[in-house]
Amino acid sequence: MAFFHSLQNSAFTDWFLGSDSIWTYPTVLTLHTIGMAILVGASFVINLRILQVAGAIPLQRLQPLYRFVWIGFAVNLLSGLVLFVTEAADRVIDPVFYVKLLSIVVALSFGIVVKRSAIGRADIQHVAPAGSRVLAAASLALWIVAIVSGRLMAYLKH
C-alpha cells in the first residue's frame, strides 16, 4: 500500500496532473479514448459478425481486425499504466477498477478463443459454431461493462 501511495504522491504525478500543458494528462487521456475506439470498435465488429450481423462476410476475412485489437490494447495498456500511477493508491482499493480490469481480461480471452474456434478456421465460412456465438455475445457485453466501469471510475475519485 505504501508503494501505491508513493506512486500517487510522486513528483511525476505532481508534474503530470499539475502541468498546464495539454501534452501531459489531457493527451494521455485522449490516447486512452483513441485506443478504446480501436480496440472495442474492432471487437464489436468481430463479435457482431460472429452473431450473424453482416453474415455474408466470410469469417476468415476479418482476421486482420485482430491486429487492430492488439494495437488498441497496447495503446490502452500503456496509457492506462500512466493514468494508474497517478491515482495508484485510490485505484487499488476501488472495486470498480477491478471490475473494469477483469472484464477486459475476460473479453480479450473470449476474443482469442473466438479467433481460434471460428474466425481463423479454414473449414468454417459463414456460420460460427454455437459455442463461439455464446462467447461473442458475452465478450460484447463485457466490453460494455469495461466502458461503463471506466467512466464511473472518474466519478469515484477522492
Partner 1 sequence: MTEFAAWVESTSLSKTLFGMSWLWPLCESLHFIGLCMLIGAAGLLDLRLMGMFRGLPIRHVKALMPWGIAGFIINATTGALFLTMQPHLYLSSGVWWSKVAFIVIAGANALFFETRLALPALAMDPDADTSPGMKLVGAFSLFSWFAVLYCGRMLPYLGTGN
Give the footprint of partner 1 on this chain (CB under 8 A): 22, 25-26, 29-30, 33-34, 36-38, 40-45, 48-49, 53-58, 61-62, 64-65, 143-144, 147-148, 150-152, 154-155
- Cβ 61 to partner 1 shortest distance, Å: 4
Compare residues 53 and 131 and give the one whose CB is closer to partner 1: 53
Compare residues 69 and 88 and give the one whose CB is closer to partner 1: 69
Compare residues 130 and 155 and give the one whose CB is closer to partner 1: 155
Q: Are 72 and 139 in contact (CB under 8 A)?
A: no
18: amino acid identity, one letter: G
User: Cell 450481423 maps to which residue?
Assistant: 53
* Nearest partner of 142 among 74, 40, 65, 64, judged by Cα: 40
